Amino acid sequence: MTTSRRGHPVGPTGSVVVRALGLLDAFGPDRPALSLSDLARHADVPLSTAHRLVADLAAWGALERDDEGRYRIGLRVWELGALAPRGQALRETALPFLEDLSRVTRENVQLAVREGAEVVFVERLAGSGAVPVQTRVGGRFALTATGVGLVLLAHSPPELQDEVLGARIERYTPFTVTDPQRMRRMLADVRRDGHSVSDRQVTDDALSVGAPVSDARGQVVAAVSLVVRHGSVSARALAPLVRTTAAGISRALSTSTR
């Protein structure tokens, strides 16, 4: 068994499917376009193997070749990704509520789910003149820093919390909380208060407030957050807006799954 760049198990190392997936996994926000040799190096496969697999992936539409001869993720992959039921159904249900929150505040509104020990963003609405954020739809981030991440970590199984807090917590700014005991207290506050506060933990100019989204069984399945410029408004003022939005999405999810 081997693992992908994101730590996912992907099967026997000799599998053609695994090698093809390894080529796709070589791409990332910092590597949107790669040459054939770059792909072979990042996927750790021989150049001849990469050439054959890339040709098959491009023929199917998983990869596209630009004018400079580099490869990018193709639209076919995007089309398949849009069919993922957890993201698609959640996004469609949540979008009217997210748009209302965005319209009222004119700030950044985000919706995310947890996959393993990471946050995956399934929707983001950027407000006019809002503070820049480092997140993107389909992007991943640590559970320990963002508003949505803190919510999802607070409501994750205890064994996952132990795993995350037992590992090195990455520091993004001087304000990032990296002490495990302090983080545990923050998570307890999230469960008690019904919302999270990430104050300058990802960038030193942003404040994020998040709240949990639950399904019909009361299980937290996602988190919504509002990201504003630090100092422009207090977390106390934002919390009721975010909690109301999360509650609306939760009610809609419960109704749609009955």
189 shares a domain with 148: yes
Residue-wise pLDDT for 151-194, tens only, equals 999 999 999 999 999 999 999 999 999 999 999 999 999 999 99
Of the three residues 47, 81, 115, the one that is the final residue of a domain is: 81
89 shares a domain with 65: no
118 shares a domain with 46: no
Residue-wise pLDDT for 54-113, tens only, equals 999 999 888 999 888 899 988 777 667 665 655 567 888 899 999 999 999 989 999 999
Of the three residues 39, 60, 81, the one that is the final residue of a domain is: 81
44 shares a domain with 66: yes
Residue-wise pLDDT for 203-236, tens only, equals 999 999 999 999 888 999 999 999 999 888 899 9
Number of CB atoms found within 10 A of residue 17's CB: 11
Residue span of the structural domain in which 71 resides: 2-81
Of the three residues 59, 81, 103, the one that is the final residue of a domain is: 81
